[in-house]
Amino acid sequence: MTELIAIDVGGTHARFARAVITDGAIELGEPVTLKTSDFAGIEGAWDAYAAQAGGPLPGAAAIAIAGPVTGGTVRMTNNSWVLHTGALDEQLGIEKVTVLNDFGAVAHAVARAPASELVHIAGPDLPLPESGTVSVVGPGTGLGVAHFHRFPGGYHVQATEGGHVDFAPVDAIDDRLLARLRARHRRVSLERVVSGPGIVEIRAVLGAIEGRQLAELEDKTIWQLGLSGEDPLCVAAVQRFCLSLGSVCGDYALAQGASAVVLAGGLGLKLKDVLPRSGFAERFLFKGRYERMMQGIPIKLIIHPQPGLFGAAAAFAREHL
């Protein structure tokens, strides 16, 4: 039996949980969620978690980070933390540590998820392939993208920064959206649109098309009003978001040679009932001469409550056990 602390550091929150690994099986304790903005770095958040835990922590940790994990220094994409991966064991007072990209961790979770934790969204209702590539996509504070290749006896995870590829318009509304964003940013990446905050820009464009003067709303408010059906323009923005998400999932499936696509993240869970009734699937298929091939790709949603924490622990097990 091995005990460790699994940590999932995103742009907004850092989640901690004690993990126990026994004969390859992973059991997570109750997670503790802290705001990254409350701390200058991971050391302060670690100390705050230790104080809440009320006892000594195990001397091992698995840390999933929202940002490219290359070299010894990781500058997070959507918050101000800077992590020095080679010094984390000393900084946190631990003996063993695994550091990986946050969506690499989610891909580990998807690769190990039972069928009961994968909800069918679109395409043929088939299980994930026993061999082949699976794309993993998750909009949140940013846009997480990874994939894993499954082969007899195991799998290999490849983290990516696919959320930062260029946004590609598909129709006239997308053209308006790109023009709005290009006026504000030197370069418009996918995550400017397909992420939680992207709903603000989508609503603004739809309002401009209707000639409306809109009060500014935070993204959380737009999501709440759109998902509840309380505000028609916010509902339309959510539906438009689903179209864009379908487009990019189809693009990743093509680029990564995927046999299946899995959606993940808290925003994905919020859209669980909306996506099958939206234009998501139509946009996923909208790939010209490859439409027939796209029709054979199942799309699922992982409903594990903490895939980042679970996947971080799984990555630790593969590295150290």
Beta bridge partners of 295: none
Q: Judge whether 20 is annotated as a binding position.
A: no
Q: Judge whether 162 is annotated as a binding position.
A: no
Of 72, 5, 4, 63, the C-alpha closest to 36 is: 63
What whole-number distance in Å separates Cα of residue 294 and Cα of residue 135? 13
Q: What is the CB neighbour count within 10 angstroms for residue 139?
A: 30
- Given a contact cutoff of 8 angstroms between Cβ atoms, the answer to whether 289 and 158 are in contact is no
Number of residues written out for the chain:
321
Q: Judge whether 8 is annotated as a binding position.
A: yes
Q: Judge whether 231 is annotated as a binding position.
A: no
**What DSSP line would sit under 29-49, residue for residue?**
---EEEEGGG-SSHHHHHHHH
- Given a contact cutoff of 8 angstroms between Cβ atoms, the answer to whether 226 and 199 are in contact is yes
Q: Judge whether 67 is annotated as a binding position.
A: no
- Given a contact cutoff of 8 angstroms between Cβ atoms, the answer to whether 145 and 137 are in contact is yes
Q: Judge whether 7 is annotated as a binding position.
A: yes
Feature table: binding site = 7-12
Residue ranges for the known binding site for ATP are 7-12
